Amino acid sequence: MQINVKDIHIGNIIKEITEEREITIQRICNFFKIDEREVFKMFGQKSLESDLILKWSKLAEYDFFRPYVTHLMLFAGISQNKNNQHLKKSGDLQFRKNIYTKEIKEFIMELVNTKQKTLSEINEEYNIPKTTIYRWIRKQDIL
């Protein structure tokens, strides 16, 4: 399943995941204590309240918050604000290993492999260091 993390439609994502996992409408209705009409209404909604997303995550055993986290990582980038500058001045070491999810890596590698964007464009738009992208490319070539 390919998720558009730039324009998230959580209802569609939930519908696709529940179909993939073969979760019946009856089970969903019993879990939420609602009728079928309400379930289909949720499938059509672009956004849902966080408590509903949490319940869907429990029912489907899938992290429906992940697309939002991926969106933040890709489109908000790693902040270069005063907090980061304060860390640099104070000399505290800050380790940020594995901050990119599998989905982010796959998305970026698809952009590179299909030549939709250059490394410089990816670096500027998503604020991912070129060295990180080169490392992903090397690992991909090895596999």
> How is the chain split into domains, by residue range?
10-76, 102-141
Identify the pLDDT of residue 87: 47
102-113 and 130-142 helices cross at what angle (nearest 10)? 80
Parts of the chain with a pLDDT under 70: 1, 77-97, 142-143
Query: How far, rounded to the nearest angstrom, does the alpha carbon of residue 47 sit from its chain's CA centroid?
Result: 15
Record the tokens describing residue 53, joined without a space: 């997303």
At position 110, the amino acid (one-letter code) is E
Cα–Cα distance for residue pair 106/104, rounded to 1 Å: 5
CATH class of 10-76: mainly alpha
| pTM for the model | 0.64
If phi > 0 it is left, if psi is from -120 to 50 it is alpha, else beta; for residue 29 that is alpha
Record the tokens describing residue 26, joined without a space: 């009856």
